[in-house]
Chain A
Amino acid sequence: MSTLHIDRTSRWFGNVVAVNDITMDITPGVTGLLGPNGAGKSTLINMLGGFLPPSTGSVTLDSTPIWRNQEAYKEIGLVPEREGMYDFLTGWDFVLANAELHRLPDPAAAARKALATVEMEQAQDRKIATYSKGMRQRVKMASALVHDPSVLLLDEPFNGMDPRQRMQLMELLRRMGDEGRTVLFSSHILEEVEQLASHIEVVVAGRHAASGDFRKIRRLMTDRPHRYLVRSSDDRLLASALIADASTAGIELDYSEKALRIQAVDFGRFTEVLPRLAREHGIRLYTVSPSDESLESVFSYLVAA
């Protein structure tokens, strides 16, 4: 059993702060690292994988630092985000080479087992260059598993996979977590993380925004006032009608946008009340758009909370 510790860690590139004073422990089981594009997920994973030194703070496996410590790779299996992977080799040669590089006592047996785990035996004699995205991902996975590591780090492993491949990989990662391995994967898709991770760490703009199981994260995301941007034929009339209803918490007349900014308390009721009130008052609705449905604003809400 291994635990990864990130302790008051920051990482900056020039004057871009990619990771900003994050402290978290990644324990055995499956942890999802969730955050929008540019949040700092890859930067964190690269530091955990020993490919980037933290600017400040420490990143350790149990209690040994990972940067410039190649012995750590006896415990760590890495599934990088980038595609480059010796395309001129067959899947078998690639996984076997990985087993040999780990100096395993029986590399061929280890390669066979790893390829079986990801169900790639049928295609193992084809060149990697001919593989689909999902097959490449599975062979990468096999190369990461070949030395039976206690820690697995995966950067965006589901990217470009079709639903069936996604299901299979999720199944596999779940099994790895159940076996007591420390599995960390990153994603910018909430549903993906929810389905798989027993524990979620949310990172936004380099900061550690939230942490917990998916119910807790969901609650943080849904128990908030929903914001809408509405344009209509008579904004003032609509505003006065809406404020009388309990589903609305607040309304602002935005002069520059020529629109109403509405905070709804009860999402379900609001979507039903708005069209009804408009009809009753003879108001035409031009625009109704949730102003913070995008993941970005969901996350910025979390950061503010």
Chain B
Amino acid sequence: MYNQTVARLTYKALLGRRRALILFALPLLLLIVAGTVRATTGMDDEVTRELLGGFAMATMVPLIGVVAGTGAIGPEIDDGSVVYLLAKPLRRSSIIFTKLLVAIAVTVVFSAVPTLLAGYLLNGNSQQIAVAYAVAAAVASVAYSALFLLLGTVSRHAVVIGLVYALIWEALFGSMVSGARELSVQQWALSLAQKVAGSGAGITSDVGLTTGLTLLLVATVGGTWYASRRLRTLTLAGEE
């Protein structure tokens, strides 16, 4: 299923474009803020939770997910270069599967790993808060990658739609409107963080663990399946 060449092309496309700057900028920002907080206020579980929950999980992970997920296929479809992948005796599902793995790897490296580092920096993983958020970021990375990869195959405006979702739904709306919170990758992933950290840490989710994990799985598998389907019937529109 995994195709080395597709993966290489996708990595280069993701990390070689100007958009990739945001991949470096956000984690860097998180680490700088974490370092500053630690230096000025010392270790504080409350602050750690706020920074990792409020910024890393709510903003950084979805944004990195948008950049990696849509960037793994969207630009290729936009500029037509995807033809060179499609005009090969290669299964469409293997193209999608490979691109999904690349998007997941990039999202985990640029969001879950910095989350873990920032957590250790902030409170030395007291009450498992750093690990809990990092695990949540990692599973969220998987679901975001699948969903945004699908978005990249569906719409030319994938980045914009993805950003709207990430910034408005996940970061703003999700923290205010309770109905929206149950339909949020962030909340699903937090159900796992809550479990990992234990009750004293104060990490909460709006959905139970079983529901959260089930929805993550459904979103990932469903998104990947539908993206393969889209690619199989992708038509080449002439210039309009």
In the assembled complex, the CB of B153 is this many whole angstroms from the nearest CB of chain A, namely 15
User: Which residues from chain A contact B86 at a C-beta distance below 8 Å?
Assistant: 51, 70
Inter-chain CB contacts under 8 Å: number: 81
CA separation between A148 and B89, bound complex, in Å?
A: 14
- Name 6 extra pairs, CB < 8 A, besides A51-B83, A71-B89: A49-B87, A52-B235, A85-B81, A86-B81, A97-B5, A101-B90
Q: Would you give the 0/1 interface string for A62-86, flagging 1 where the beta carbon is closer than 8 Å to chain B?
A: 0000001011011010101011111
- Which residue of A88, A98, A103 is within 8 Å of B12 (Cβ)? A88
Q: Which A residues between 156 and 193 are near B, CB-CB below 8 angstroms? A: none
- Residue B230 CB within 8 A of the other chain: no
Number of residues from A at the complex interface, CB < 8 A: 31
Which of A's residues lie within 8 Å of B, judged by CB? 42-43, 46, 49-53, 68, 70-71, 73-74, 76, 78, 80, 82-86, 88-89, 94, 97-98, 100-103, 143
Which of B's residues lie within 8 Å of A, judged by CB? 3-6, 8-9, 12-13, 16-17, 76, 78-81, 83-92, 232-236, 238-239
In the assembled complex, the CB of A99 is this many whole angstroms from the nearest CB of chain B, namely 9
User: Which residues from chain A contact B79 at a C-beta distance below 8 Å?
Assistant: 82-84
- Which residue of B5, B9, B12, B87 is within 8 Å of A50 (Cβ)? B87
CA separation between A80 and B8, bound complex, in Å?
A: 22
User: Which residues from chain A contact B235 at a C-beta distance below 8 Å?
Assistant: 46, 51-53
In the assembled complex, the CB of B28 is this many whole angstroms from the nearest CB of chain A, namely 23
Sample (6) of A-B pairs whose CB atoms are under 8 Å apart: A52-B235, A70-B86, A84-B81, A88-B17, A98-B84, A101-B90
The reply to whether B88 and A101 contact each other, CB–CB distance below 8 Å, is yes
User: Which residues from chain B contact A84 at a C-beta distance below 8 Å?
Assistant: 76, 78-81, 83
The reply to whether A103 and B89 contact each other, CB–CB distance below 8 Å, is yes
User: Which residues from chain B contact A74 at a C-beta distance below 8 Å?
Assistant: 89
User: Which residues from chain B contact A83 at a C-beta distance below 8 Å?
Assistant: 79-80
CA separation between A205 and B191, bound complex, in Å?
A: 60
User: Which residues from chain B contact A49 at a C-beta distance below 8 Å?
Assistant: 87, 236
Closest residue of B by beta carbon distance from A97:
B5
CA separation between A281 and B147, bound complex, in Å?
A: 81
